[in-house]
Amino acid sequence: MDIPNIEEKCDEVAAFLKSLSHPQRLMIACHLSAGEKTVSELLALCHISQSQLSQFLKRMELEGLVDSRREGQYSHYRIKDKRLLQLLNTMQKLFC
């Protein structure tokens, strides 16, 4: 194990994991790992209020985890940071 390299990255890794530390943000990320979703699709899948979903998505976007695009009146979200997909796959193997 490369301890000096790990020490350099601790703050970055802690911030990355903190972004997913809320169960609903983790659930949103899991749903997005299957592919791009509209806000309406995420609402149906996550069973939370629109204002909560909006807050979670905004935070995840500011933290660089997800990306969005507008198409007409719909917002589409997808995973931006490919490390997130790798982490979600590993977590599924370890916990599911």
Q: Specify the CATH number of the domain 35-96.
A: 1.10.10.10
Token pair, residue 15, equals 């911030």
Structure confidence at residue 4 (pLDDT): 83
Q: What is the pLDDT of residues 77-92, one digit of tens each?
A: 999 999 999 999 999 9
pLDDT at 47 exceeding the cut of 90: yes
Structure confidence at residue 29 (pLDDT): 98
Which distant-in-sequence residues (6+ apart) come within 8 Å of 72 by Cβ?
A: none
Tokens 């719909």 belong to 74
Q: Report d(CA 85, CA 71) in Å as an integer.
A: 24
Structure confidence at residue 21 (pLDDT): 94
Q: Report d(CA 78, CA 35) in Å as an integer.
A: 6
